[in-house]
Amino acid sequence: MKDAKIESEDDLRPEYDLNELQVRKLGPGRKNFGDVVRLEPDVAAVFTDADAVNVALRSLIKIAHENRHLFRDMTG
């Protein structure tokens, strides 16, 4: 029987280097890639990194907690 030549039809570009790719084969974390939030481009343009986003959100949380009495007064 002759060897059949198999032609690959994948779209992987030759410049992609997957030699350093780490694949987690076992364990509960293998499907968990962490918490990822996609920012819209206009929002992402304001923040330089994840730390800046966290600082802003923590400030917003603090303001909301400090002013929650205002919202209770409006609703009841």
Q: What is the pLDDT of residues 6-50, one digit of tens each?
A: 555 667 777 777 777 777 667 666 666 667 788 999 999 999 899
Q: Which residue did the predictor score with more confidence, 76 or 74?
A: 74
- The letter for the amino acid at 12 is L
* Sequence-distant (≥ 6) Cβ neighbours of residue 47 within 8 angstroms: 39, 53, 56
Model pTM?
A: 0.48
Distance (Å, rounded) from C-alpha 53 to C-alpha 39?
Answer: 10
Q: Where are the domains of the chain?
A: 37-75
* Contact assessment for residue 47 and residue 53, using Cβ atoms and an 8 Å cutoff: yes
Q: Which is more confidently placed, 26 or 4?
A: 26
∠ CA 44-22-17 to the nearest 5 degrees?
75
pLDDT at 8: 59
